[in-house]
């Protein structure tokens, strides 16, 4: 009897499990357009006004926003556990970027300890004219970022050197910061080693080579324009003439604290070689840290305990020195980036909720359906990516979201998806560094010692390239169409409609 009842009970176990799942599962409501607009506008207004107008504590503000978004998400049918999983999932996905940030902060301290950065500064003061600093900064940071594939790594190394040179030479620090950020973002955009470059090609379903070739069509004209601007701004950037005695005094301080030698360039050489071998950013940075540690031991006479101290807290000079010297060398270390780590996780949590629940997707789809022309598609893609970047404070999610949402309309209008991947980078990789509440902008500002609002007008490449891209699309220049056999060709004048 027992067996008979047991057989009846379990005759259709899969049906029983399915009914249980249906009964216990809460239906997730899709946010409607009005609610999505209210949530996004409230998020923008809260962050921008709190950060730029009222100067509130940004971490506390983000925590309040996360709590408010959790309440709205809960009202849409999501359970507490599902909301927590959303947030944790986004933080876990951001770990590679956080590791790069940590390695960059360690690299800064170790390159100072080994004498690499002091040697670069000393030689720059000796041979580099103040009038040529902006253009030189733009070119060197571009090459470094292409090799390294990371704007963060470029800002943490070359950025520190050129900002120190600007402070010592009487050159505008804000303009120098704009030049190094422009160059760093150029390399981050087109380097095959860059995470955003690879992500954009994957999100848009095109090959990496197609993506890079498409980007060059609009990136090279913008780069040439920025090159000419920084070339013409050379004399304008020098706001005061620094006495030669002050520069000589700084060089003496550097030489008294460090052994200035060409051997200290070995970490830079390692970075270049591994970059040309197309190794990952973490591998390149780790190799640079190890190389600088070896140089510090044998050339600078540093003990192992001092090396470990620098990894944690950065380089800290113990002697009596001038203020500008201390500003240059007292940098780096994991602990110096802890506030940025926390901020990054909070921003990503906000962006993750906006993305996963569908607030961004609903607004984007509403406007995508109204696009009629190829040039409008390009402009809408870039603007959409910018809006998503402003909402999330990140470049990864906007690239993924825009790449997925716009694929159908690009296919429908016969535009090759390499144009889509290019627009995603225009609106995310280049735009995120000039969003004051983004993790990238907070890091750049902290590393260079220049507020985002101050360097924004001079980070010309970051805002000029998207404008050039949109302008060229309305002129039917650089638009690539996709033939039925999958081959590419350019739109001609008669394709404009």
Q: For residue 21, what pLDDT band results from cuts at 50, 70 and 90?
A: very low
For the residues 310-318, what does the mean pLDDT come to?
91
Six token digits for residue 192 = 């095959």
Mean pLDDT, residues 118-130 taken together:
89
What is the rounded CA–CA span in Å between residue 259 and residue 262? 10
Dihedral sign (CA 431, 436, 437, 442) = positive
Cβ atoms of residues 271 and 135 within 8 Å: no
Residue 169 CB neighbours (<10 A) = 23
Other beta carbons within 10 Å of 224: 10
Closest CA to 100 of 462, 436, 440, 339: 440
Q: At what angle do helices 266-276 and 281-298 cross, to 10 degrees?
A: 160
Mean pLDDT computed over every residue of the chain? 85
Mean pLDDT of 78-96: 87
Residue 284: closest CA among 449, 482, 145, 438: 145
What mean pLDDT is predicted for residues 382-409?
A: 87
The CB density around residue 460, as the number of other CB atoms within 10 Å, is: 21
User: pLDDT tens-digit profile of 158-202?
Assistant: 999 999 999 888 899 999 999 999 999 999 999 988 888 988 898
Name residues whose C-beta falls within 8 Å of residue 487's C-beta, 6 or more positions apart in sequence.
none
User: Cα 299 from chain centroid?
Assistant: 35
294: nearest Cα among 264, 260, 329, 332: 264
Query: What's the pTM value of the predicted model, to 2 decimals?
Result: 0.84
Q: Is the pLDDT of residue 479 over 90?
A: no
| pLDDT over 80 at 13, yes or no | no
Quick: pLDDT tens for 39-53.
988 888 888 888 778
Looking at residue 489, its pLDDT comes to 59
């Amino acid at each position: 009897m027992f067996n008979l009842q047991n057989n009846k009970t379990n005759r259709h176990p899969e049906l029983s499990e399915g009914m249980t799942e249906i009964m216990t599962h809460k239906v997730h409501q899709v946010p409607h357009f009005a609610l999505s607009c209210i949530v996004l506008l409230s998020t923008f207004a809260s962050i921008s006004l709190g950060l730029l107008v009222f100067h509130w504590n940004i971490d506390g503000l983000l925590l309040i926003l996360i709590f408010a978004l959790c309440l709205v998400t809960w009202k849409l049918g999501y359970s507490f556990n599902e909301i927590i999983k959303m947030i944790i999932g986004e933080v876990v996905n951001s770990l590679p970027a956080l590791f790069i940030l940590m390695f960059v902060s360690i690299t800064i301290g170790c390159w100072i300890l080994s004498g690499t950065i002091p040697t670069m500064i000393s030689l720059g003061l000796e041979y580099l004219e103040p009038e040529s600093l902006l253009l030189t900064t733009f070119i060197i940071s571009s090459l470094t970022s292409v090799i390294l594939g990371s704007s963060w790594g470029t800002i943490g190394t070359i950025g520190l050197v050129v900002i120190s040179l600007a402070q010592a030479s009487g050159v505008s620090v804000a303009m120098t910061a704009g030049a190094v950020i422009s160059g760093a973002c150029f390399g981050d955009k087109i380097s095959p080693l860059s995470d955003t470059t690879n992500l954009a090609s994957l999100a848009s379903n095109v090959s990496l080579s197609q993506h890079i070739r498409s980007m060059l069509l609009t990136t090279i004209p913008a780069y040439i324009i920025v090159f000419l601007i920084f070339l013409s701004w050379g004399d304008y950037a020098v706001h005061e003439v620094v006495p030669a005695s002050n520069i000589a005094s700084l060089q003496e301080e550097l030489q008294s604290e460090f052994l200035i030698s060409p051997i200290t360039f070995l970490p830079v050489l390692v970075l270049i070689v591994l970059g040309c071998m197309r190794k990952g950013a973490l591998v390149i940075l780790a190799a640079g840290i190890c190389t600088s540690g070896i140089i510090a031991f044998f050339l600078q006479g540093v003990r192992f305990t001092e090396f470990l101290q620098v990894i944690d807290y950065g380089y800290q000079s113990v002697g009596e020195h001038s203020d500008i010297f201390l500003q240059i060398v007292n940098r780096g270390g994991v602990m110096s980036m802890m506030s940025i780590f926390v901020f990054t996780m909070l921003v990503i949590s906000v962006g993750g909720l906006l993305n996963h629940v569908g607030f961004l997707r609903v607004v984007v789809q509403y406007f995508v359906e109204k696009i009629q022309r190829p040039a409008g598609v390009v402009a809408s893609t870039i603007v959409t990516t910018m809006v998503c970047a402003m909402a999330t404070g990140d470049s990864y999610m906007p690239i993924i979201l825009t790449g997925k949402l716009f694929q159908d309309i690009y296919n429908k209008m016969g535009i090759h998806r390499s144009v889509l991947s290019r627009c995603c980078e225009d609106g995310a990789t280049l735009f995120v560094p000039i969003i004051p509440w983004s993790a990238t902008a907070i890091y750049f500002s902290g590393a260079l010692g220049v507020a985002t609002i101050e360097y924004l007008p001079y980070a010309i490449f970051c805002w000029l390239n998207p404008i050039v891209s949109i302008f060229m699309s309305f002129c039917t220049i650089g638009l690539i169409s996709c033939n039925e056999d999958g081959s590419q060709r350019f739109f001609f004048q008669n394709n404009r409609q």
